[in-house]
Amino acid sequence: MIQLSNVTAKYPGGEGIELVSLTVEPGEFVYLVGPSGAGKSSVLKVIYRDIIPQSGHVVVGGFNSLTFKKKQIPYLRRKLGIIFQDFKLLMDRNVFENVAFTLRVTHTRGVEIKRKVLRVLADVGLSHKRLKMPYQLSGGEQQRVAIARALVNEPIVLLADEPTGNLDPEAAEEIMQLIEKINSKGTAILMATHDFRLVRAQRRKVIKIEKGMTRS
């Protein structure tokens, strides 16, 4: 479903990732761990095509880096759910509209939007806050909104880049439990973290990255 084979992607300064290989299978929970600056976010960026690999081979949900065209980016990203440490919500729109945003862009019918948004908001436990603005929510609640937005298109995988990095331990634990629930319902997870304490390795795949390289 996701496969990186010997992928190298360097920034102009020469940093980046080198010969990275990994796979994510349907339904799998995969941790990408390594120290700050190791290249975890860069691996995720290659997967959602924020950076272009210079060599190697990337396959994501049927899209292939060797034949990939720039105009395919929106179609690729619609197959992916992506969440970040800093939530990245639209601060001038309420919770409902933050989650509805991608559906409006793709001209989904109004009734469909309502049905889908209310369903994912219920899944993350935020139905009652649907008319609040992001600044009226706690950090943990804002991350739940971001998760709802990521899930509304039923992605093949949830890419999570340090999703608990800005949260206190209690809110972080709740978000981890939510991500685990999402995985148990069948969505694959690829989660980057430098915090080994978050890794519950039982029945999980753990990929280590150091100085831009995966090691096996």
Ligand X SMILES: Nc1ncnc2c1ncn2[C@@H]1O[C@H](COP(=O)(O)OP(=O)(O)OP(=O)(O)O)[C@@H](O)[C@H]1O
**Residues of the shown chain interacting with Mg ion in the complex, contacts defined by CB under 5 A:** 40-41
Answer with the entry of Mg ion, ligand X, none that 36 interacts with (C-beta below 5 to 8 A by kind). ligand X
Say what angle helices 139-151 and 95-105 make with each other, to 10 degrees. 20
Task: By CB under 6 A, tell whether 37 contacts ligand X.
Answer: yes
Supply the minimum distance, in Å, between the C-beta of residue 117 and Mg ion: 29
CA distances from 71 to 56, 81, 136 (A): 21, 19, 37
Task: By CB under 6 A, tell whether 215 contacts ligand X.
Answer: no
Task: By CB under 6 A, tell whether 40 contacts ligand X.
Answer: yes
d(CA 111, CA 117): 10
Nearest to 177 by CA among 157, 194, 192, 163: 163
Answer with the entry of ligand X, Mg ion, none that 11 interacts with (C-beta below 5 to 8 A by kind). ligand X
- 93 by DSSP, 3-state: which? coil
Give the DSSP letter string of 136-179. GS-HHHHHHHHHHHHHTT--SEEEEESTTTTS-HHHHHHHHHHH
Task: By CB under 6 A, tell whether 36 contacts ligand X.
Answer: yes
Task: By CB under 6 A, tell whether 214 contacts ligand X.
Answer: no
In 65-156 the beta strands, taken as DSSP E runs, fall at 80-84
Task: By CB under 6 A, tell whether 149 contacts ligand X.
Answer: no
Q: Which residue is nearest to Mg ion (CB)?
A: 41
Task: By CB under 6 A, tell whether 216 contacts ligand X.
Answer: no
Could you say which of 15, 50, 112, 154 contacts ligand X (CB under 6 A)? 15
Supply the minimum distance, in Å, between the C-beta of residue 60 and Mg ion: 19
Pairing type for strands 63-64 and 55-60 reads antiparallel
Could you say which of 2, 7, 9, 16 contacts ligand X (CB under 6 A)? 16
Q: Which residues bind ligand X (CB under 6 A)?
A: 11, 13, 15-16, 34, 36-42, 194
